[in-house]
Amino acid sequence: ARCDASSFESVRCTFCVDAGVWYYEVTVITSGVMQIGWATRDSKFLNHEGYGIGDDEYSCAYDGCRQLIWYNARSKPHLHPCWKEGDTVGFLLDLNEKQMIFFLNGNQLPPEKQVFSSTVSGFFAAASFMSYQQCEFNFGAKPFKYPPSMKFSTFNDYAFLTAEEKIILPRHRRLALLKQVSIRENCCSLCCDEVADTQLKPCGHSDLCMDCALQLETCPLCRKEIVSRVRQISHIS
């Protein structure tokens, strides 16, 4: 993974774990600021606000450049030396004992347990990068350099992606494909799947389907309170 943007960008893996012991490794390619570790479904990935892994109560990260452990936007120093190009960082998640253990070239730190006061399941491997920082993830596709002594599972043993899901298109290609998507003129402005057949009262706005309208308390256009919803039969196709 590499960050070519000017903001603090984050990534996470596609596979989520809820139980057991899991391990992955990262090879440091650039030795700058990266926060790498574990995040959950509730983690805040707000790049333009500077939120990275370890900057909320649902994630915890190892920072080998500044020699810090991050949790809930607070940091504490660790005893590892600064990482350098070619170093291997190990990440162990033990959901049985509710702890995370970080390794640098096989040397482990004391377990981290704070994140488990907020969440106990739904963990992803995740990382945040300052501009032009890069590392290589190994989820078990090749032998680990410093496997821990305890029994563990790897993402590659259990996760599965279709051939289509393995393709990551460059941004300009994704935007070009989106421009080719055809959206009906009378589709719901929220879901874009159903016909906009519902009028909101008393404001009169009518660019929603009934399913979406029933989930709203105020009109998304004018913010007036919705008193009733009227299906306009003539709009149904």
Please compute Rg for the chain using Cα positions: 23
Note the pLDDT tens digit of each residue in 33-45.
Answer: 999 999 998 888 7
Closest CA to 159 of 38, 29, 24, 60: 24
**Distance separating alpha carbons of residues 156 and 160, to the nearest angstrom:** 8
Mean local confidence (pLDDT), 65-80: 97
**Distance separating alpha carbons of residues 171 and 175, to the nearest angstrom:** 6
**Distance separating alpha carbons of residues 133 and 203, to the nearest angstrom:** 50
Closest CA to 212 of 234, 186, 236, 188: 188
Q: pLDDT category, 103, cuts 50, 70, 90? A: very high
**Distance separating alpha carbons of residues 188 and 208, to the nearest angstrom:** 4
**Burial track 55-93 (b if 16+ CB lie within 10 A, e otherwise):** bbbbbbbbbbbebbbbbbeebeebebeebeeebbbbbbb
- pLDDT of 49 reads 67
**Distance separating alpha carbons of residues 110 and 31, to the nearest angstrom:** 23
Among 126-130, 140-144, 220-224, which stretch is predicted with the lowest mean pLDDT? 220-224
Q: pLDDT category, 48, cuts 50, 70, 90? A: low
**Distance separating alpha carbons of residues 58 and 53, to the nearest angstrom:** 9
What's the DSSP call for residue 68?
Answer: E
- Claim: this prediction has a pTM higher than 0.75: no
Looking up tokens 């500077």 gives 50
**Burial track 13-41 (b if 16+ CB lie within 10 A, e otherwise):** bebebeeebbbbbbebebbbbbbbbbbbe
Note the pLDDT tens digit of each residue in 179-201.
Answer: 777 667 788 988 888 899 999 99
**Distance separating alpha carbons of residues 22 and 164, to the nearest angstrom:** 26
User: Which domains are assigned to the chain?
Assistant: 9-158 (2.60.120.920), 183-231 (3.30.40.10)
